[in-house]
Amino acid sequence: MTGTIRAHLMPLVWESDFFALPSARLSFRDDAPVLTSEALTAYAVVQAKVAASDLAMIDALSAGGFQLAESEVDFCLPIDSVEPVLPAWRVADTADIALLRDAASRVFSQSRFRTPWYHAADSGRFYAQWVENAVRGTFDDVCLIAHDEQGAPLGWVTLRQTQTDQARIGLLAAWPGTSGGVGMRLMALARHWCQQQHVAHLWVATQLGNTRALRLYQRAGAQIHDTAHWFYRRPHDSL
């Protein structure tokens, strides 16, 4: 092993049950024990999220058998008092769950929950569950649907208040088959919700390769705050 990794293994109970794969995430601390292959073999998947600037840790993880799964960019949008122009919208309820699940499973079929660590259908299944949970008030606090004049859905955004003056977008997506400015309408909805909750800053993360989302958030006024890489390791990968 080229570099020493000091980290606690934090079991991911919900993900372990959902994917039927014992999973954990590394929590890096200088006073944590040195990571060993024996400790890692208790889990089918071990995740590590590392700042893109932490090259020493990236090298150590790579030397320890971890593989890059995805890179992400985290944005922060200051919320001002200017009321945005809103599309027609409503708060999603349980009657919307079936359609939202189907849409989410198609829109989010590619993510960090991908092969070879997960099954091909797991990503869509995970985000279908996410949007259902958001409607029910878990995972996220609320799911807002933008729709046309006839009531047909155009897209949705889920949000949660993480602190008194901070909130984060969980999922934001245009409905499959729609096009033409849906993203900005959803950002207007998110901004409006934040104003109602007296939130000062709205956060949202997206995949580095999702250039459409990167452009959307920058066009909406958000600024890049951080970049990170997700690394995964399976038991048979070397340490």
Can you count the helices (H) and strands (E) in the chain? 7, 10
Q: What is residue 34's DSSP assignment?
A: B
Tokens in use for 188? 């207007």
- Distance CA(97)–CA(177), nearest Å, equals 18
- Distance CA(20)–CA(36), nearest Å, equals 23
CB atoms within 10 A of CB 97: 18
| Beta pairing partners, 144 | 91, 157
Which one of the listed residues 43, 127, 217, 232 is annotated catalytic?
217
3-class SS of residue 233: strand
Give the chain's length. Answer: 239
Tokens in use for 39? 């400790």
217 is known as an active-site residue: yes
Catalytic machinery residues = 217
